[in-house]
Structures are given as structure tokens and as C-alpha cells.
Structure 1
């Protein structure tokens, strides 16, 4: 039986330098990357208290979010895609 190919969430990708500053520089699966981003967001209290779906960018997240001060949780995933190769 053929070995199952990992799906898009399990494929190990290399984070950009900006993303690596948050999730680590080693190869990382997309799903794991999103989990680590949420760990960082929660640890640093970066969710907008008025709207939990908004993420407030600190100095480390701003370059990942294309210089924006805040993004929605859905927008965050789009920005992460550009930082994983």
C-alpha cells in the first residue's frame, strides 16, 4: 500500500525570518504554526478585548501582518501563508 502523502496542514514548511521570530526557525507544519501563533497571541494578551476575533499586532507581529496594526483571525491565516515556503 502506498504511503499516505501528508495533507497541506501537515507538510513541513520553512517560516520567514519574521515568522521565525514568533514560531521558531525550524520547518513547521501550517497547523502547528497557527497553534504557536495563538499561543503567542494569548501569552502576550494581543486579542482585542472588545472583539476577540481581532488580533492586535505588536512589534513582532506587525511585519508578519504586512505592517497592519490589527487583523482578523481569518486574515491572520492569509498573512501566514505568505511567510511559509
Structure 2
């Protein structure tokens, strides 16, 4: 794949948008780790935490019951899966 005026090294090096590594806040880093990660990896690790701790509401799978670590990030006892992605933005730079 070669673009006009751009060599392969520049194409592979360009990382922006969703693939750009972001740094997590200390509260979020307690769940996903302190290393800079793309947003997709942060969400994936957060879902791993949710599944491994059985935090998804069995009656309504769209609702997440927050444990202490997630309460520090979300600021609530319960969040919807859609609201969760919005609340993550405040913890990623």
C-alpha cells in the first residue's frame, strides 16, 4: 500500500483516532493497567474485569453493577453499557 507522496514507514507510523495509545487515570489504571493503550483495548480490558467479577446484571445484560474499582471510575453503583463508554472519556488522556 503506497500513497502518493507518503512512504510505507510514514503510513505504518501514523496512529491517530481510535488506535492512538491513551494514558488511563489512576482509578482506571487499577483495572486496565498503567501502560498507554488504544481505547479499544481499554474497553476490552474493562469488559474482561466485568465478566471475571460477574458484574453484568443477569436480568438486564445492558446494566453493569459496579464494584469498588469501577465505582471510582464511573462514580455510580450502576451504569448502562452505553453510558460506561461515555464515562470512560474523563479517565483517558
TM bracket, shorter-chain basis:
over 0.9
Greater per-residue helix proportion: 2
> What TM-score do the two structures reach when normalised by structure 1?
0.92
For the residue of structure 1 that corresponds to 2:64, the secondary structure is strand
Alpha-carbon separation, structure 1, partners of 2:35 and 2:83: 24
Unaligned runs of at least 5 residues, structure 1: none
Query: Is the CA contact 1:9–1:30 (under 8 Å) kept in the aligned structure 2?
Result: yes
Alpha-carbon separation, structure 2, partners of 1:7 and 1:32: 14
**How much is the aligned-residue C-alpha RMSD, in angstroms?**
1.1
Query: Is the CA contact 1:10–1:30 (under 8 Å) kept in the aligned structure 2?
Result: yes
Alpha-carbon separation, structure 2, partners of 1:41 and 1:7: 27
Unaligned runs of at least 5 residues, structure 2: 1-5
Query: Is the CA contact 1:8–1:30 (under 8 Å) kept in the aligned structure 2?
Result: no
Alpha-carbon separation, structure 2, partners of 1:51 and 1:10: 31
Q: How many residues align?
A: 84
Give 1:8 deviation, angstroms.
1.9
4+ residue runs of structure 1 moved beyond 6 angstroms? none
Task: Look at both structures and tell me which one has the larger radius of gyration over its CA atoms.
Answer: 2
Greater per-residue strand proportion: 1
